[in-house]
Amino acid sequence: MPGTEERRLAEGVGRAIAKRRGACGLTQEQVAEHLGIGVEAVSRMERGVALPTVVRLGELAEIFGCNIADLVTETSSRASDQAHHLAQLLARMGSADRAMVVDIVETLASRLGKGK
């Protein structure tokens, strides 16, 4: 993978795949079996050595019960993608926990934004 941006994308997608796989309680062997590929191929995707095709991302999303976009946007550096990811995380929380997280984010944004 020649470009730095491609490498960063592959690593980010790989982290998202590994995280989703773990959240589903699946092993690399089980994912490989579902996909009809070797365990090493799953390992290469998770380590960011190989960037999965769109078709493969669709298969992974189906296994993990998520959208293809979730596997890509969780690692995006775009503010709108990051906001979408945060909204998904907040949606899983109760009202009090959401309020606490929003307060923490507001405090951090205020403090870190001063350095711009």
What does the alpha-carbon distance between residue 99 and residue 19 come to, in Å, rounded to a whole number?
25
The structural domains of the chain, with segments of one domain joined by +, span 4-73, 79-113
- pLDDT for position 2: 53
pLDDT tier at 1 (50, 70, 90 boundaries)? very low
Each residue of 81-93: pLDDT tens digit? 788 878 888 998 9
- pLDDT for position 84: 82
Each residue of 4-47: pLDDT tens digit? 888 888 999 999 999 999 999 999 999 999 999 999 999 999 99
Could you say which architecture CATH assigns to the domain 4-73? Answer: Orthogonal Bundle (1.10)
Distances, alpha carbon 59 to alpha carbons 9, 39, 87, 112, in Å: 18, 15, 24, 39
13: burial class by Cβ within 10 Å (0-12, 13-18, 19+)? buried
Among 7, 66, 60, residue whose Cα is nearest residue 37: 60
What does the alpha-carbon distance between residue 58 and residue 83 come to, in Å, rounded to a whole number?
23
